[in-house]
Amino acid sequence: MPDECGKDGYPPEWHRGAGLGALGIKHLVRAEAAYRCVRCLHPYKGGGEWSPCDERCEHRGPYRYRHGPDDEWFESPDDELWTGEARLGADVGIDVEAQWRILTVHHLDMVKANCCWWNLAALCQRCHLQVQGKVQMARVWPWEHSEWFKPYVAGYYAHVYLGEDLTRGETMGRLDELLALERAA
C-alpha cells in the first residue's frame, strides 16, 4: 500500500498517463486484461455510450444491432442475454453494440490505496456496479466462486490466511489449494 494518496484517495501512480513510457496502475490493469472486461469479456475500444461487441462477449443487454451501416438500429431489452441472433450477428458481420460497457478498474476490497493485483479487476461499467454492490472480500463465501473471480479471491486468501503476497502466476499454480483456505476457515 502506498504511503501517500491524493485527495481522491488514489495513490499518485494510479493516474499516471502513457507519456514517457510510464503507464499508471489503472492503465496497466486494463492492458493486463487485454482491454476487455474480465467478467463479461466485452472489449474496450474507447469511450462512449455504445461500444462494439464481438464473439467473446458474455453479457446481457441492453445491446443494439443492425444489418448494415445504413440500416436502422434495433435495441434489445435490458435483461436479454447476449446469445442467439446478436452473437450470430457479430460472427457474420452484423453490427452489434452494448450500452455503457466502458472499461473501469474496480478495487474489490473498496480500498483505493490497495493496489495489489488481486484487488484490481478490469471491469466494464455495468459489471463494476454489479460486483461493487455484491462482492465483499472479507465475507466468508463457502460456495463455488465464478471462474473470472477465482484468481482474485485466491490471491486475497493467500494474503489474509497465509500472509503471502503471491504473484498472479504463483496464485494460478496454487489455485485449488488457496481456494480451499476459505472452506477450511
For the entire predicted model, the pTM comes to 0.85
The least confident of 7-11, 27-31, 160-164 is 7-11
Q: How far apart are CA 99 and CA 75, in angstroms?
A: 10
Question: What pLDDT does residue 87 have?
Answer: 55
Question: What are the pLDDT digits (tens) for 70-91?
Answer: 889 988 776 665 554 555 555 5
Average pLDDT of 47-68? Answer: 84
List Cβ neighbours of 172 (8 Å cut-off, separation of 6 or more): 151
Question: What pLDDT does residue 164 have?
Answer: 97
Alpha-helix residue ranges (DSSP H) falling in the chain = 12-15, 25-32, 84-92, 125-132, 150-162, 168-173, 175-184
CB neighbours of residue 100 within 10 Å:
13
